[in-house]
Amino acid sequence: MAEESELSHKQKKEIAKWFLLNAPAGEIQYVAKDLKSILNNDDVYNEAASESFPVYNKSHMICLPMPAGIGDVLVTSYGELDKNKYLDPRTAQVAIVDHIKQVCTEVRPAADEELPSPYVEEFRSMLACLQSKLMCQILCMLWMQKYLDMLVKLIQKVYVQFIVQREKMWKDQDLVLSLLLVISAAKLSPQNFCNGSWRSIWNIEFNDDAQVLEVTGKLQVGAHYFEEGNVQLDAKHECKDTTIFQSPDDSAISIAHIIRHHETEYLASLEDLRRKLPVTRTHFPWHNTTQFSLTREISKELGIGK
């Protein structure tokens, strides 16, 4: 029998990257620590980490505190100015990030060309004024009524950012503007063997000619439960809506109503799915899962089974 050939440097790196990129919310550091030990090869690990951490951080839209208590910055591809520089529109600061350590090392004031025009800023700032209301809405959705007493403790775990994605003035003076509303929330409780995240991206297109705002949302919910087992949820949803192009404050209120409606509706559908799981206040019987018909029920409801 022929001996199996050892994996090449590139193959090891790609396998390591797969594990890093597929780590659940808040768990990439744990995966990285185990990988480094298993690989026992600093060159392979360092290459895999340097390529994976920036992608992971941006896809999970992690929130990092900036130095000197200035505030927090969301690490996303939308606010990315360079490979490790991210704009925080609220404070008009640019955060320099160490992706592998997942920390913000320093900040600098944003240059004029990195910020929106005064006209666009008026719309962005009016939306930003609703940030606290949106934060409370997401918190209520994520943890439901019985967890509202944890609101004060959890509120720093939710972050809303508004970014000017495109701003262009055509020759006929019609304004084409696109704002992004990015919401990132996380509940990390590894000591209780569970972690979860909520990520939603709302693209708001301003059509000045038609006097219409087109709102498109992409929502993603992730959850990982690993007490005496390993269960993961990765749910995605897309939706669209429209409203009338109004003044900055009225437009902000209309957009907030749209977001609240669609996110509440989506969470309700996830809650219906969750309630198909047994509520017994006991550990899940991994040794005998046949007693539950979860797969059959879901398949039947979605019309994917016989």
Q: Which residues of the chain, if any, have pLDDT below 70?
A: 1-4, 117, 119-120, 126-177, 208, 210, 273-306
User: What pLDDT, on the 0 to 100 scale, is given for residue 187?
Assistant: 83
User: What pLDDT, on the 0 to 100 scale, is given for residue 294?
Assistant: 57
Inter-residue contact 75 to 110 (CB < 8 Å):
no
Amino acid letter at 72? Answer: D
pTM value is: 0.78
Q: Which domains does the chain have, with CATH numbers?
A: 9-59 (no CATH), 117-274 (3.90.1150.210)
Helices (H), the chain: 9-21, 28-39, 42-59, 118-128, 131-143, 151-154, 248-274, 294-302
Residues comprising the chain, all counted: 306
User: What pLDDT, on the 0 to 100 scale, is given for residue 148?
Assistant: 31
Residues ≥6 apart with Cβ < 8 Å to 174: 208, 209
Helix (H, G, I), strand (E, B) or coil at 6: coil
User: What pLDDT, on the 0 to 100 scale, is given for residue 145?
Assistant: 34
CA distance 12 to 285: 36
Inter-residue contact 190 to 26 (CB < 8 Å):
yes
User: What pLDDT, on the 0 to 100 scale, is given for residue 94?
Assistant: 93
Residues ≥6 apart with Cβ < 8 Å to 224: 24, 25, 27, 194, 195, 196, 230, 231, 232, 233
Tokens linked to 141:
């959705």
Helix (H) or strand (E) holding 179: strand 175-189
Tracing tokens 């957009």 back to the chain, one arrives at 255
**How many CB atoms within 10 Å of residue 117?**
12
User: What pLDDT, on the 0 to 100 scale, is given for residue 290?
Assistant: 60
